[in-house]
Structure 1
Amino acid sequence: MDLGELHGSGAGGRITRADIIRAAGTAAKPVSSDGRTKASPLARKLAAESGIDIAKVPGSGRNGTVRAADVREATQTPSEPPSAQTRSLPSAQEQALPAVGRSRKETDRTGTARLMARSKREIPHFYLSTTIDMGTALDWMRDRNTALPLSERLIPAALMLKAVACAAEEVPELNGHWIDDAFVPARQVRLGVAVALRQGGLVVPALGEAEHRSLPEVMSSLKDLVSRARRGRLRASETADPSITITSLGDQGVECVFGVIYPPQVALVGLGRVIERPAAVNGLLGVRPTLTATLSLDHRAANGATGARFLNCLDRLLQRPEEL
C-alpha cells in the first residue's frame, strides 16, 4: 500500500495516523547499516521492557523509524485482543514477575508493591464508609455459640464475610472486573480474603460461593484458607479470579481501613475492629458495639449511589444474622 492508496481512506478523505501506521506495516521494514531495525533509543528500551519484538512494530518516524509512541501504541492495542468474557484473569501473584536472586519474602513484597502501584496509578479510587451497630449480630452469635463445642463456635469475621458475599450478590455492579475499558460482571461471588503472611507480603485466596454457604461452612473454609496461606500451601485455583476483596485489620486493633483495590477488581471492603461507642437508640443514649465498614471503589465502574446501596445492604444483613 502506498500513499496514493491511502487517499480517501481516513475520515473525510484525510490521511490519519492509523492509515500511515497500516501503510508502514505493509511496507518493507527499514533497517540500519548494521542490519537492525531503525528505532530511537527510547523505543528500543520500551520494547525491551515490554517484551515486544521491535522488528514487528510499524514505524511512523522519518524513513519508517520506530518511535517510542509507536511502541506504546503497540503495547496498548494488541492485534488480536482476547475476549473479555473468556480471558483468564491473572492472580495477584501472577501479575508481578519474581526477581531473580531474591528471597521469597523480598519477592512477595516486590510483587505486592508492583500490583498496588499499578492500582493507584490506573484506578480512580474513591471511598465511602459507614458505622454499623453490631449489637444484634454479636448477641445472636453468643447465644448460638453457647450450645456448640469450642471448635465449632463462630467468630465475628465469619458473619462479616458471609454478609459481604451476600451484599455482593445483591449489588452485582461491584462484583466483577474492569477489562478492556468496560465492566465485566462475575458469574459468581468469589470473595478474596487478604491474608498477611508472617514472613512479610500479602496473599489473597478466594472463597467461592460464600453467599450460598452456611455460616459454619464459611467459618471452616476461612480457617482452612488462612492456615494454608500462611504455610504456603494454597492451590493456584484458590488465588485466581477473586471478584471482590475484603480486608480486615480489626484483630490488630485498627478501627478503620481504606484499602487499595486489587486490579482488575472494582471494589474492596475494609473492616475495622468492633468498638463500644456512645449511641442513641430509640431516643435513649447508651453504649453499643459498632463496626466501621469502608468501601474502596473504582469510579470508572461505579458511583457513590451504587456504593451506598452496597453499604446499606451490608448493614441490613448484619442486623438479621439469623438469615445469613
Structure 2
Amino acid sequence: MTDFLMPSLGADMEAGTLVEWLVKPGDAVKRGDVVAVVETAKGAIEIEIFHDGTIGELVAAPGSTVPVGGVLARLGDGSVTAVPAARPAAAPEPARASPAPEPRRPPPAGTRARATPAARQRAASLGVALDGLQRTGVDGAICLADLSQAAKPAPRRGGFDPKAMRAAIAAAMARSKREIPHYYLSLSVDVTATLGWLDRTNAGRAPPDRLLPAVLLLRATALALAGTPELNGFWEDGAFRPGDGVHVGWAVALRGGGLVAPAIRNADRLGLDELMAALRDVVGRARGGGLRGSELTDPTVTVTSLGDRGAESVLPIITPPQVATIGFGRVMERPWVVDGAVLPRRIVTVTLAGDHRATDGHRGGLLLARIEALLQTPEVP
C-alpha cells in the first residue's frame, strides 16, 4: 500500500485544488505518468505519480482542496494512517475497481456530451467538438486524456488567477530576502561575434528552425554550472545539497501577470537545437497552462532573461531552496575597447545572485567567467 500525496509545487504552496482525475480505480500506473490536474496559484498543473502500481482508491474528490502532504489516492488494497485529504461536504465515495466499461456511443444529437470541466474548457480552446470522442473518465465522462489525440496541445488557462499568482510570488520572494543572505556579482560580456555567428547560422534555416539569442544564454549558463556545481543545487537542513543534474528553471512571464520557471532538465547535455526545442516547448506550455508538477519542483537553478525590451541589467532574487539565480539584461550597443581601439560593440550584462551560506564571491566570479567564455564560443558542440 502506497499513498500518493499532494506535492509541493512551490516554496510557499500550502494546498492545491484537485481539478480532475485522469485515472480511475484499477488502472495500472508507472512512475512519471500524469494522473491528475491540480489548481494552484500558478494555474492548472498536471501531476505525475512517483510510484509504479495500481490505483486502489481515489481519496480526494474533484473540487476538494488538499493540503501539501495530504492523501490524493492510494495504490494497492487496504488502508493506512496518513494525513487526511480535505473533501467537499457530502462528497460521494470514490468508485472502486471494476471491469473496464464497454465503449460508449456518442450521445444522441442535441444532447450535451458528458465531460469534466477541465476537458470542456480545453476542447473549447482547441475548437474540438466533444461529440464522438472516446470517454475514459469516471462514469463515462470525457477527460483531458481523451483530448490528447484530438488535436495538438493548445492553451489551457486553468482558471488562472493573477492576484493569487502575485500573492504566491510575494510570499516566496519575501521569504527569500528574509532568510537568504544574497550576494551579487555582475559582468558585461561582448557578444558581437556571437550574435554575428547566430545570424549566419539562421540565414539558411526556415523560421521555425531558427535559433533565438536566448538559447545561447541558456546553453552558456548550463555548461558553466556543470563546471561550478557549488552553485547548482539546494540549501536544505542547514547544508548544501548538489542537484542530480543541471536542471535550469527558465523564468517565463505570463500574459496574465506573474511568472513561472519550469525546468529544462539536463540542459548541459543538450545541443543548441535540442535546447531551442525544449525552450519553445516549456514557454508555450507555461503560457498555455500545460506544465507538469515535476517541471516546477526540479529546477536546480533559475535563469531570467529580460530580452530585447528589458532593462540593461537585472538583480534577481533567489528562489528557495535554490542557491543561485542568473540574470541577463538587454543587449546594448556600447563603445568598447578592442585591441586599443574604441568600437561600437553589442554588450549584455550578466548578474549572479548567490546564497552566501553555500558559496562566496570567488566561486560566483568563476561561474560568470565561464559564462563569458562560453558565450563567445557558441559554435563549440
Q: What is the CA–CA distance in structure 2 between the aligned matches of 1:89 and 1:320, rounded to whole Å?
A: 40
Q: What is the CA–CA distance in structure 1 between the aligned matches of 2:353 and 2:10, rounded to whole Å?
A: 18
Q: Which runs of 5+ in 1 are unaligned?
A: 1-87
Residues 248-263 of structure 1 aligned to structure 2 (within 5 Å):
248-263=305-320
Partner in structure 1 of residue 372 of structure 2: 315
Does 1:173 find its partner at 2:173?
no
Q: Which has the greater radius of gyration?
A: 1
Q: Is the CA contact 1:96–1:111 (under 8 Å) kept in the aligned structure 2?
A: no
Which of the residues 117, 120, 144 maps onto 2:174? 117
Q: What is the CA–CA distance in structure 2 between the aligned matches of 1:251 and 1:231, rounded to whole Å?
A: 23
Q: What is the CA–CA distance in structure 2 between the aligned matches of 1:105 and 1:131, rounded to whole Å?
A: 34
Does 1:95 find its partner at 2:5?
no
Q: Is the CA contact 2:8–2:14 (under 8 Å) kept in the aligned structure 1?
A: no
Q: Is the CA contact 1:132–1:293 (under 8 Å) kept in the aligned structure 2?
A: yes
Does 1:293 find its partner at 2:350?
yes
Residue-by-residue CA offset, 1:22-45 (whole Å, 9 max, x unaligned):
xxxxxxxxxxxxxxxxxxxxxxxx
Residue-by-residue CA offset, 1:51-110 (whole Å, 9 max, x unaligned):
xxxxxxxxxxxxxxxxxxxxxxxxxxxxxxxxxxxxx9943276355689x972221111
Q: Is the CA contact 1:257–1:271 (under 8 Å) kept in the aligned structure 2?
A: yes
Does 1:231 find its partner at 2:149?
no
Residue-by-residue CA offset, 1:260-309 (whole Å, 9 max, x unaligned):
00000000000011111000101111010000000001000010000000
Does 1:157 find its partner at 2:214?
yes
Q: Is the CA contact 1:272–1:293 (under 8 Å) kept in the aligned structure 2?
A: yes
Partner in structure 2 of residue 107 of structure 1: 164
Q: What is the CA–CA distance in structure 2 between the aligned matches of 1:167 and 1:93, rounded to whole Å?
A: 26
Q: Secondary structure at the match of 1:159?
A: helix
Partner in structure 1 of residue 324 of structure 2: 267
Runs of 4+ aligned structure 1 residues displaced above 4 Å come to 96-100
Q: What is the CA–CA distance in structure 1 between the aligned matches of 2:247 and 2:342, rounded to whole Å?
A: 40
Q: Secondary structure at the match of 2:319?
A: coil
Q: Is the CA contact 1:162–1:215 (under 8 Å) kept in the aligned structure 2?
A: yes
Partner in structure 1 of residue 360 of structure 2: 303
Q: Is the CA contact 2:211–2:273 (under 8 Å) kept in the aligned structure 1?
A: yes
Q: Secondary structure at the match of 2:379?
A: helix
Q: What is the CA–CA distance in structure 2 between the aligned matches of 1:315 and 1:264, rounded to whole Å?
A: 26
Q: What is the CA–CA distance in structure 2 between the aligned matches of 1:241 and 1:177, rounded to whole Å?
A: 11
Q: What is the CA–CA distance in structure 1 between the aligned matches of 2:212 and 2:249, rounded to whole Å?
A: 18
The number of equivalent residue pairs is: 236
Higher mean displacement: 159-168 or 192-201: 192-201
Which of the residues 184, 199, 202 maps onto 1:127? 184
Shift of the alpha carbon at 1:241?
A: 2.1
Residue-by-residue CA offset, 1:201-225 (whole Å, 9 max, x unaligned):
2211000011111101111111111
Q: What is the CA–CA distance in structure 2 between the aligned matches of 1:286 and 1:265, rounded to whole Å?
A: 39
Percent identity, aligned pairs only, is 46
Q: Is the CA contact 2:267–2:275 (under 8 Å) kept in the aligned structure 1?
A: yes
Q: What is the CA–CA distance in structure 2 between the aligned matches of 1:290 and 1:201, rounded to whole Å?
A: 28
For residue 10 of structure 2, what is the amino acid of its counterpart? A
Q: Is the CA contact 1:271–1:294 (under 8 Å) kept in the aligned structure 2?
A: yes
Which of the residues 278, 284, 302 maps onto 1:245? 302
Does 1:194 find its partner at 2:242?
no
Q: TM-score w.r.t. structure 1 length?
A: 0.70
Residues 247, 89 of structure 1: CA spacing in aligned structure 2 closer, same or farther, 3 A cutoff? farther
Q: Which runs of 5+ in 2 are unaligned?
A: 1-5, 16-39, 42-64, 66-158
Cα-Cα RMSD: 1.9
Q: Secondary structure at the match of 1:160?
A: helix
Q: Secondary structure at the match of 1:130?
A: strand
